Structure 1
């Protein structure tokens, strides 16, 4: 797909640098970091070797195609795309208030008086990702995993009476979610299956069995009326490590009140054998089963939808889709 995107350049940041650091620092280089699909992430390097990270929320940085008429994908849906400075601001304040480490914010601006988009300048945590540590030296990552488990427990202890993203639960009553988590996941899973089946022949062949299994698993879930604070997409690539070995959680816009089992299905999927450091023993097994199948379908439909656009890391995104096609089929075979 031939799409020309205009990314941030050094000469556009004079006003932001002045607002944050005055004349104390001069910007040397701007490096756009890869991997993000919803906001721009840039490393700023200054003349005194200090570095910071710039977040930019605008359409030029968002690779997700606009979905027309996608029922349930509106702002109130906790599982809808999580992008926006308002979500970041509310989630950052919420996590900091309970002692969960996120990058320190040096500057946050939605006035667009310094740059023609919402922006934040935040701490550059230079210890790399937890994912890289687990790949290269798992033993050195064990203290970080212990601390991450404690952070997850602190989040779990925060309770809400309705599911929803933090910014909406705490602020906009007119868009609050009235459905239960299991109903939200059921609606989403049925949509994801329908979309995935139009793209993947192997899923089309078993679509009827999968839809029956989705409804069967959903019907076994007992009602719940209180929800926990979760990140929603906490893979080891969304955890940085600071100089003291502390976990620093990033990509926090989707932080929400929801069933904690949704978080743990994703944690188990992304952390693999290292999930043992993060696991909880008192989770609802029926929810885990249901949410696992729903998560697999989401991780088929979502990546394939993203690839309709010009997202650059096409091989990696296709790998996610292919892995979760297999997870879906294996789940169906084991639970037939």
Structure 2
């Protein structure tokens, strides 16, 4: 704090903020009332460490370098996200991980405003979020990739096929650990391929957050939304984002809706999300995530939703 902000910023309280599965977050309160946030990307505290270590570097969505790059890009596009004060990426023996000091946005997450009884408040929050997302998704490129891969050439396969390849291991994991998925493993896999086969080629991709639920949006005292957990942002099919927004925001998705989405891509990505979140919930459950009730509920809910795609009733 002294090195970045000066000797006048004396730390009084440090509080760990809960909820993250991929990085550790602390609230730092200083004498005089200044507050900021510390992000720590310590892989040993990541519930998806195994996947990150085995991931294709092109698919990585974890780390301070991606956060820094995406933070600056979003800010340059007028998309609100907490300001980055300083990034530490030296990775010394004492601190073998990335960490950053970031602006503290006082206020709740957007989930506090879902189905809010005051229509004006709801219009203000989700209307502003809808405008931000429209602007972000209109930021297009002719290739799909993370910002750090721009200029390195095009992928040989369509982006939905890349997603198809990434979701298959999630289905395998879910089938191995959840009996009702295991019973229908082959039917679910066939349905996944059938949905992918309907998708026509595309050559333009919008900039998306990648996992934008109401828990990844902070709302300040002026009811202005800020995007957080932005490491996975990339140029990709915007249907990947909208199919996620659709079930995460429920009836308030009407504020975020886009008029020209491809229905075949929407159906495919919805199914992919349900399979991935089934496996993701199970992994959190198996790896000691503190909120075990949430983890179990996540896996159960999305398993049921996935089975509906093949007309199977979940028990």
Q: Which residue of 2 aligns with 1:119?
A: 99
Is the CA contact (8 Å cut-off) linking 2:137 and 2:208 kept in structure 1? yes
Q: Which residue of 1 aligns with 2:11?
A: 27
Kindly indicate whether residue 110 of structure 2 is the aligned counterpart of residue 130 of structure 1.
yes
**Cα separation, partners in 2 of 1:240 and 1:138, compared to 1, 3 Å:** farther
Is the CA contact (8 Å cut-off) linking 2:115 and 2:251 kept in structure 1? no
Q: Which residue of 1 aligns with 2:244?
A: 266
Greater displacement, 106-115 / 209-218? 106-115
Q: Deviations over 1:132-172 (max 9, x none)?
A: 222665632321111111111111111122222222336xx
Q: Which residue of 2 aligns with 1:89?
A: 68
Kindly indicate whether residue 37 of structure 2 is the aligned counterpart of residue 59 of structure 1.
no
Is the CA contact (8 Å cut-off) linking 1:32 and 1:42 kept in structure 2? yes
Deviation at 1:323, TM superposition (A): 0.6
Q: Which residue of 1 aligns with 2:56?
A: 74
SS in 2 for 1:317: helix
Tell me the matched-pair count: 310
Q: Distance in 2 between matches of 1:260 and 1:224?
A: 12
Q: Distance in 2 between matches of 1:191 and 1:62?
A: 19
**Cα separation, partners in 2 of 1:67 and 1:157, compared to 1, 3 Å:** closer
Kindly indicate whether residue 26 of structure 2 is the aligned counterpart of residue 42 of structure 1.
yes
Deviation at 1:112, TM superposition (A): 4.6
> Can you give the 5+ residue segments of structure 2 that lack an aligned partner in the other structure?
none
Q: Distance in 1 between matches of 2:39 and 2:10?
A: 19
> Can you give the 5+ residue segments of structure 1 that lack an aligned partner in the other structure?
1-16
Aligned-CA RMSD value: 2.1
Q: Distance in 2 between matches of 1:297 and 1:185?
A: 12
Provide TM-score, normalisation by structure 1: 0.87
Q: Which residue of 1 aligns with 2:273?
A: 295
Q: Which residue of 2 aligns with 1:286?
A: 264
Q: Distance in 2 between matches of 1:309 and 1:242?
A: 33
Q: Deviations over 1:240-269 (max 9, x none)?
A: 012221110000000001000000010011
Q: Which residue of 2 aligns with 1:154?
A: 135
Provide TM-score, normalisation by structure 2: 0.92
